[in-house]
Chains A and B, each alone.
Chain A
Amino acid sequence: MVQRLDYLKESPSQTAGPYVHIGTNPNWVEITGVWKDDLGLVLVGPETVGERILVEGRIIDGSGALVRDALVEIWQADAAGLHNSPTETRGTADPAFAGWARQPVSDADGLFRFETIRPGRVPFSGGGLQAPHVTVWIVARGINLGLHTRLYFGDEAEANSVDPLLNRIPDPVRRATLVAPRTERDGMPVFTFDIRLQGDGETVFLDM
Chain B
Amino acid sequence: MSGAYFQRDRDWHPPALTPGYKTSVLRSPRQALLSMPTTPSEETGPVFGHDVLGPLDNDLIRNFAKDGEAIGQRIVVYGRVLDENARPVAGALVEFWQANAGGRYRHKKESYLATLDPNFGGCGRAITDAEGRYSFRTVKPGAYPWPNGVNDWRPAHIHFSVFGHAFAQRLITQMYFEGDPMIGQCPIVKTIPDPAAIERLVAALDRNATIPMDSLAYKFDIVLRGRRSTLFENRMEGN
Contacts and interface: CB of A to CB of B under 8 A. Distances in A.
Interface of A: 6-24, 26, 29-31, 33-36, 39, 61-63, 65, 67, 69, 73, 75-77, 83-90, 98-100, 122-127, 130, 133, 135, 137, 139-147, 150, 164-165, 168-169, 174, 197-199, 202-208
A206 B36 contact: yes
Contact of A10 (B46, B223, B235): B223
Interface in B151-190: 159, 161, 165-168, 170-174, 188-189
A27 B118 CA distance: 16
B230 to A, nearest CB: 11
Contacts of A77: 40-41
Contacts of B123: 22-23, 26, 31, 34
A31 B26 CA distance: 30
30 contacts: A8-B85, A9-B197, A12-B200, A17-B174, A19-B97, A19-B109, A21-B107, A22-B106, A22-B107, A22-B121, A24-B161, A35-B57, A61-B27, A62-B28, A76-B41, A100-B46, A124-B39, A124-B238, A125-B38, A130-B41, A135-B42, A137-B170, A142-B27, A143-B24, A144-B13, A202-B29, A206-B35, A207-B10, A208-B35, A208-B36
Contacts, number: 277
Nearest to A75: B167
Contacts of B238: 123-127
B224 interface: yes
A175 to B, nearest CB: 10
Given A20-B159, A31-B64, A31-B122, A144 B18 contact: yes
A86 B2 CA distance: 14
Contacts of B47: 85-86
Q: For chain B, what secondary structure do more than half of its interface residues adopt (helix, strand, loop), or is it mixed?
A: loop
B72 interface: no
Interface string B82-114: 111110000000011100000001111110000
